[in-house]
Amino acid sequence: MSGAPRPGERELAELVYREARLLDEQRYDEWLALLAEDARYWVPLAASETDPVASQSIAYEDRLLLEIRIRRLQSPKAYSMHPPPASRHVLQAPVMETLDHAANRYVTQTPFVYVEARGDEQITLAGTARHELRVEDGALRIALKRVDLLNAGAALPTIYLFL
């Protein structure tokens, strides 16, 4: 990832790709390091949702909850990790929605297919990931990752890892 103070489209796309790769490789400490201190990870129940606090969500987590989630995944007592799930994010090229150097605000939209396998079962989900990014101490950080599943309101199977 570039440390350029004025990231271009390439740097933004690289960050989105790297973020997905870190999740798929379960390199969670490095993933957490990509997040701003006030970052949020949001999986709304509908694409029309604008307020994560005033609505039901599949997930809406700050760093503390994300750290808890990761610690749990790494615990020998996390029974759902047996057999261990594995994920693959298949990303389309990110669309640059906002590239505002003056406001230090960068937004990308990335359509994706998410596959999660566990034992003999495999699920496939699709959606769009929206990354709101900013430069902090010379590096791009994620302020918000919002994941809109195509079928967020449907009866969903268990999703063990991170979309």
Partner 1 sequence: MKTYRSDPAAIGRLVEPDRVHRDLYLSEELFALEQERLFTRAWIFAGHASQVPKPGDYVTAEIAGRPLILVRHQDGALHVLMNRCAHKGTMIVTDRTGNVGRAFRCPYHSWAYRTDGTLLAVPNPAGYEGTGMAGCETGRGLVRVASAARRGFVFARLADDGPSFEDYFGPALAALDLAADRSPAGELEIAGAPLRSVIGCNWKVYLENVNDALHANVTHESAAIAAEAAWRGRGGGTPVPTALEQLLPFGSGTDFMEKMGGRVFANGHSYLGTSQSIHSGYAALPEYDAAMIAAYGEARAREILAWAPQNMILYPSVALKASPQTMRVIRPLGSDRTLVEAWAFRAKGAPAALLERTQLYNRMVFSPMSMVAHDDVHVFEAIQRGLNASGNEWVSLHRDFARAELGAAPFDSSGLNEVLMRNQFRAWAALMAAPEVH
Q: How far is CA 120 from CA 5, 14, 82, 84, 117, in A?
A: 46, 33, 12, 11, 7
Q: CA 128, CA 150: separation in Å to the nearest integer?
A: 8
In the complex with partner 1, the residue whose CB is nearer, 33 or 65, is 65
Shorter beta-carbon distance to partner 1: residue 142 or 161: 161
Q: From the CB of 48, what's the least distance to partner 1, in Å? A: 11
Q: Please give the residue ranges that form the binding site for partner 1 (CB under 8 A).
A: 43, 45-46, 53-60, 64-65, 67-69, 71-72, 75, 77-80, 82, 153-160, 163
Least Å from the CB of residue 137 to partner 1: 21
Cβ proximity to partner 1, 38 vs 100, nearer residue: 38
Burial per residue of 134-152, b for 16 or more beta-carbon CB atoms within 10 angstroms, e otherwise:
bbeeebbbbbbbbbbbeeb
Minimum gap (Å) between residue 18 Cβ and partner 1: 22
DSSP 3-state of 39: strand
CA 7 to chain CA centroid, nearest Å: 20
Q: How far apart are CA 111 and CA 37, in angstroms?
A: 26
When the beta carbons of 45 and 95 are compared against partner 1, the nearer one is 45
* DSSP symbol at 15: H
Q: How far is the CB of 43 from partner 1 (least distance, A)?
A: 7
- CB 20 to partner 1: min, Å: 17
Measured from the CB atom, is 51 or 102 closer to partner 1? Answer: 51
